Structure 1
Amino acid sequence: MEIYSGMLAAYMAALVGMIIVGVLVYAITAFFMSKLFAKAGVQGTWRAWVPVYNFMVFFKLGDLSPWLVLYCFGGSILLSWIGIGFIFSLALFVGGGVAAYRIGMKLGKETGFVAFWLISPVWLGIVAYGKEQWNTAVAPAQWAGNAFLADRTVWDGVPVQTSGVVPPVAGETAAPGNPAV
């Protein structure tokens, strides 16, 4: 019986330690995200402290639809019971990497810089405290005209991406692959 009580105590200590580490990593990540949001022109850095919503704003800054975050969270939760929820978690991580790549472009970072996304608090710390200014003149994302990936959401206080869809001039028809909006 003593063995089980010792194992239970070790398990509980490990659990408490993991919770403390998780809260610390979340606080550090949210703090860096608030600095990044301020640099990007997001009004109200409180958005960085709200779980899930902070990642939605991050995706929006990376020119991806913020609703992809909810799709991935929902899929990972709803399908975890059959063992495939991790695919949606992986999709969320990859989408975060794509958003990090686009945000890095807007901050003038090199393409390889996105590799730091593997340790996202490090990536966020570097971009949050870097001297680079936010550049709104970056060309629209290649998927800006795609209905599923494109960001068409408008939130007060959050910058809107430039659209990759060019409306036709009056009297002309839309070019193939470039539908009129």
Structure 2
Amino acid sequence: MLSKGIYDRPPMITYPEKVEYEKKQSYIAAAMGKKRPLNAVELTEIFFNIERNYFSVLLCMGLLQVIKDKEIKNYIKDGMEISEKQINFFNELLKKEALLGTVPVSMAVTNSTVSPFSDKLIVALFHFLNSTGVTFIGHALSLSMRLDLATYYSKVIGEILMYAEKGFNIMVNRQWLEQPLKRQIERF
């Protein structure tokens, strides 16, 4: 796959020749505007989020071909834009770190215009994907020790939550969302 250019390999960090220990708080906070290089954990989370968002873009592209409802189509377009913004931000960050950006795996979306799923199922899927997206970004936030990354992750979580509200409103307005079962408390 590498020789054919269809494998999206994660960025590499050279293995250190000796162990060095941090002596200053500047590892977390940028000292006088200078940022330290990404550590391996941060790089892993960035790569994972790029890959996850590439999948999201492909999913959106396929669904946009088959969805006829204008409101749902706009909702999916908005989700695709959020994913594209994340891909662009992370790729630019990797380029600034001299780690190159990742190249999307060239996967084709068929040209079908017949939806294999109902609109209700598609919106419910995006509702689920929004919650997993917040979970993954929150995980990356919890592992990041660079303030610029932590700030960006916090912003993205807010953006996903605002997007999720649009999908929630679509489900409520169309009566596609059932109330969760309420636990009855027995009194003795």
Q: What TM-score do the two structures reach when normalised by structure 2?
A: 0.29
Higher relative contact order (CA 8 A, sep 6+): 2
TM-score by length of 1: 0.29
